[in-house]
Amino acid sequence: MNIFKMAWRNVLRNRRRSLVTIGAMAFALFVEVMYSGLVPGYTQAMVEDITNLEIGDVQIHDTEYRDAPSIYAVIEDPDAALKTLDEMGYPAAPRLLSGGLAASGEFSAGAAFRGVDLERDGKVTLVGTKIADGAWLDASDPKGVVVGKFLARTLQVKPGSELLVLGQGTDGSMAHELYSVRGVLGSVAEATDRATIYMVDTSFRDLMVMPTGAHQIIIKLPGNVLLEDAAPAIAAAMPDLEVKTWKQLMPIIAQMLDSVSGIIFILYFIIYIAVGILILNAMLMAVFERIKEFGVLKAIGAGPTRVFGLIAIEASIQTLIAIVVGMSAAAPGMWWMANKGVDFGAMGGMNMMGVSMRKIWYGIYEPATVAGPLIMLVVIVAMAVLYPAVKAAWISPVQAMRHR
């Protein structure tokens, strides 16, 4: 009496029930694996969008700027700060920030002006690649500006349109200049889309009468540098300035992204609890309808370990088949998610907490992505099978054989 052969035949005995059990396990595994790769893929893309497009990994301001943004709260010597950052090996770009009014034809709106150092900015942010219509800023066209998506709609402008900009210069004078729209951005971030006008830094300085200083320095860390290591080092190098990571600048999103693993675990839990109940039910039925057989097995001398082992092997066989089926289904799915992604169509470009969502989500699939759901499945099956197996293993033979 080969216990493995017997277990296998028992699995085949009620094929429909075994198929439902295996199917549920395989489906749960498939969903978990896909989800486990898709959510980190999405969050990583979100972090990349946050850090690559506007915020950078780390930002430096004058200590008063963020509490009370003012054109006068400047980093006095941005060149020195940039030199230090260059020496540390961290690409950085200065930004000039101000606000005012923008008007075109009969339309006007409040606007945020961004003066950009084109040479440095291209190494730090990818905002220049997000042009939906027209072209990005060009040093040879100092009167050309780029407008955020929704602002362009409000002002009814497109590439080639004239745009009047009004503000207050640092000398207290009325700052005003007529620009030409070079480009309109696609979705970047809520605030950028609604109000931002990008211009070449020299144009900003001319407009706002601001010959020196910068309001912000954006730093993009190399891939091998940890944010947690770099930020304190930068802060130590510039004790008179405020150094903040993107997580400190966008704490709600940072918290949300940090909680993703918790969200995945909760979903694991919900799906696997449902599957666990199904397995428990199937195993209870499988055990109790055969309780007399277990009684006979025990009567002829099989010990509790053998009976427990038989049930455990039956559950293991079903789990193993479910893993093969689930992973066979997940493998092409993972490839597709990692390489082609999921097109969220109209949802793409929507804003979530001020950050623009990508149209296509890609999954990230690593050994850990698969290992987590696999381990969880095995644990849930083990938990579900424990009660019926122990019950069958320890029941007295007489009681089992009398069972109705």
Partner 1 sequence: MSNNEPVIELKGVTKLYKQGKLEVMALRGLDLVIQPGEFTAICGPSGSGKSTALNLIGALDDATSGTVKLEGQDLGKLNRRGRSNLRRDRIGFVFQAYNLMPVLTAYENAESVLALQGASAKERKETVMALLAEVGLEGMEHRRPDELSGGQQQRVAIARAIASRPAVVLADEPTANVDSETAEKLLDIMEELNREHGITFVFSTHDPRVMKRARRVVQLVDGRVAADDVKEGSA
What is the identity of the amino acid at 110? G
> Residue 61 in contact with residue 241, Cβ under 8 Å?
yes
131-134 and 174-185 beta bridge pairing: antiparallel
For helices 304-339 and 15-49, the axis angle rounded to 10 degrees is 40
Q: Does 15 bind partner 1 (CB under 8 A)?
A: no
Q: Do 56 and 250 touch, CB atoms closer than 8 A?
A: no
**Residue from 2, 140, 224, 339 binding partner 1 (CB under 8 A):** 2
Contact status: 289 vs partner 1 (CB under 8 A):
no
* Among the listed residues 293, 325, 342, 354, the single contact to partner 1 using CB under 8 A: 293
Residue 122 region by backbone torsions, left for phi larger than 0, else alpha for psi between -120 and 50, else beta = alpha
If one asks whether residue 17 binds partner 1 (CB under 8 A), the answer comes out as: no
| Footprint (CB under 8 A) of partner 1, residues 303-322 | 303-304, 306
Q: Which residues, numbered 202-221, are part of the site for partner 1 (CB under 8 A)?
A: none
Q: Which stretch binds partner 1 (CB under 8 A): 9-17, 47-55, 127-135, 185-193?
A: 9-17
Residue 163 contacts residue 179 (beta carbons within 8 Å): yes
- Of 8-16, 234-242, 273-281, 335-343, the segment contacting partner 1 by CB under 8 A is 8-16
Which of 292, 374, 383, 403 binds partner 1 (CB under 8 A)? It is 292
Residue carrying structure tokens 């666990």: 276
Query: Which of the ranges 19-27, 253-261, 263-271, 390-398 carries the binding residues for partner 1, by CB under 8 A?
Result: 390-398
**Residue 83 within binding range of partner 1, rule CB under 8 A:** no
- What is the maximal distance between C-alpha atoms in the chain? 103
The position carrying tokens 């020496």 is 87
Nearer to partner 1, 8 or 27 (CB): 8
Q: Are 390 and 288 in contact (CB under 8 A)?
A: no
Looking at 55, 241, 297, 317, which residue binds partner 1 (CB under 8 A)? 297
From residue 246 to residue 285, the character string flagging contacts with partner 1 as x (rule: CB under 8 A) and all else as - is: ----------------------------------------
Q: For 80, how many CA atoms within 13 A lie in the half-sphere containing its CB?
A: 9
**CA distances from residue 62 to 67, 69, 169 in whole angstroms, order as listed:** 10, 10, 19
Does 397 sit near partner 1 (CB under 8 A)? Answer: yes
Is residue 10 a contact point for partner 1 (CB under 8 A)? yes
Q: Alpha-carbon Rg of the chain, whole angstroms? A: 31
Amino acid at 284: L
Size of the site for partner 1 (CB under 8 A): 22
Site of interaction with partner 1 (CB under 8 A): 1-2, 6, 9-10, 13, 292-293, 296-304, 306, 396-398, 401
